[in-house]
């Protein structure tokens, strides 16, 4: 227990043991409540087809669609235009055009091709209303692809590095193999290089022991968080450490085994299946697919959560912070697993109070 205390203290920057025990050692959230959304809500856009990820460029929203391989530009008033269709995407099961991120005038995209998952970047040009993509430049390739467990979320950290979630692609044991990129969170430079300060020399692996890691976000102190799909027992919210091992397939959820890092919160998959996450207003917002809700986990008490939108909009794939500080929440009912209602899929905007 003592080593886990030191490990989580270091990751969270918490000086108080009592604060740590509330967050890292509780196998389930100690405080859960239902409430209305934390601000005024409105619908930005409707009739999207299996949307997956939201990113922003010069104030304009860009949205990926998994099965069409389209990148769409969506204005604040709901106007939609097709920016591009990504070549070579072969959607199947959970694969297709997945996460997108913007940095330094480039759009980065994670997608499934014929025999691999890959990350490409495209030069962005034009202004909102006329954004275009240049030719593709592959920055990471050879990631195992499968019908399930493709990972697919990408995000830039406060260090300027690109972080990439990679699922185990159905090969459970690969998550514990440091030579494999499956079941990992990777860290690379903007052009695909391996940073010299990565925890494993010459490797893009940043953390291991993941089944199907999803959302990525950082707080103001630089602490990194990730959501993760479990199998049958527990989904997870983790604090990610460089070189950390999160246990899969040896452990699912809190295992209290010193060699593995336990989640700070866990949920039954039918109440969660956590996907994209975002940090705003002193909290982590977690999109839930099977759970059909958004959770708000306060940064000052990682054992607590508030739930809203429960069952209101169906499956929730992503949540992102817009340039004006509002939350954009992306539904995902047209992906073959939901129950589409009229207008699905849509973006819901929340003006935080």
Question: For 335-351, what is each residue's pLDDT tens digit?
Answer: 999 999 999 999 999 99
Cis status, amide bond into 100, omega within 30 of 0: no
Kindly provide the b/e burial profile for residues 139-162, where b requires at least 16 CB atoms within 10 angstroms of the residue's own CB.
Answer: bbeebbbbeebbbbbbbbbeeebb
Residue 3's pLDDT is what?
41
Distance of CA 208 to the CA centre of its chain: 16
Read off the pTM. Answer: 0.91
Whether pLDDT at 28 is above 90: no
Residue 8: the pLDDT is 36
Average pLDDT across the chain, whole number? 91
SS3 state at 7: helix
Residue 111 structure tokens: 């997608």
pLDDT exceeds 60 at position 9: no
Q: For position 18, what pLDDT does the model report?
A: 33
Q: Average pLDDT in the 216-224 region?
A: 98
**Predicted pLDDT at 35:** 72
CA distance 267 to 234: 5
Is residue 33 very low, low, confident or very high in pLDDT (cuts 50, 70, 90)? low
2-11, 135-144, 286-295: lowest mean pLDDT where?
2-11
Share of the chain above pLDDT 70, in %: 90
pLDDT of residue 76: 87
State the pLDDT at residue 353: 73
> Is it the case that residue 180 has pLDDT exceeding 90?
yes
**Chain-centre distance for alpha carbon 296:** 15
Does 84 have pLDDT greater than 90?
yes
**Of 248 and 258, more confident:** 248
The answer to whether residue 27 scores a pLDDT higher than 50 is no
pLDDT (mean) for 307-317: 97
Q: Do 121 and 106 form a contact (C-beta atoms < 8 A)? A: yes
In the predicted structure, residue 10 carries a pLDDT above the cut 90: no
Percent of the chain with pLDDT over 90: 88
Angle in degrees, CA 303, 271, 45, rounded to 5: 105
Which positions ≥6 away from 232 have C-beta within 8 Å? 252, 269
């Amino acid at each position: 227990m003592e080593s886990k205390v030191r490990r989580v203290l270091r990751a969270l920057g918490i000086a108080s043991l009592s604060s740590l025990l509330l967050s890292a050692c509780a196998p389930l959230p100690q405080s859960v409540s239902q409430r209305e959304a934390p601000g005024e809500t409105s619908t930005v856009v409707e009739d999207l087809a299996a949307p997956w990820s939201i990113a922003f460029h010069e104030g304009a929203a860009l949205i990926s669609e998994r099965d069409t391989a389209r990148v769409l530009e969506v204005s604040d008033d709901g106007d939609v235009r097709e920016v591009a269709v990504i070549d070579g995407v072969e959607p199947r099961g959970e694969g297709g055009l997945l996460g997108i991120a913007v940095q330094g005038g480039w759009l980065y995209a994670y997608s499934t091709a014929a025999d691999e998952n890959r990350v490409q970047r495209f030069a962005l040009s034009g202004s909102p209303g006329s954004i275009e993509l240049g030719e593709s430049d592959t920055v990471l390739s050879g990631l195992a692809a499968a019908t399930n467990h493709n990972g697919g979320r990408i995000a830039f950290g406060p260090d300027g590095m690109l972080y990439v979630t990679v699922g185990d692609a159905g090969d459970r044991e690969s998550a514990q193999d440091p030579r494999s990129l499956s079941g990992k969170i990777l860290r690379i430079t903007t052009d695909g290089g391996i940073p010299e300060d990565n925890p494993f020399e010459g490797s893009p692996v940043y953390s291991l022991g993941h089944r199907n890691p999803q959302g990525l976000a950082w707080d103001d102190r630089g602490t990194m968080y990730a959501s993760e799909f479990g199998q049958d027992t527990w989904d997870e919210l983790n604090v990610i450490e460089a070189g950390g091992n999160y246990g899969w397939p040896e452990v699912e959820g809190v295992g209290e085994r010193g060699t593995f890092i336990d989640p700070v919160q866990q949920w039954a998959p039918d109440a969660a299946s956590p996907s994209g996450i975002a940090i705003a207003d002193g909290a982590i917002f977690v999109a839930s697919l099977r759970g059909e809700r958004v959770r708000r986990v306060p940064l000052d008490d990682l054992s607590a959560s508030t739930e809203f939108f429960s069952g209101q909009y169906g499956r929730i794939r992503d949540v992102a912070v817009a340039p004006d500080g509002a939350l954009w929440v992306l539904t995902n009912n047209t992906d073959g697993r939901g129950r589409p209602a009229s207008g699905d899929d849509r973006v819901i905007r929340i003006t935080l109070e």
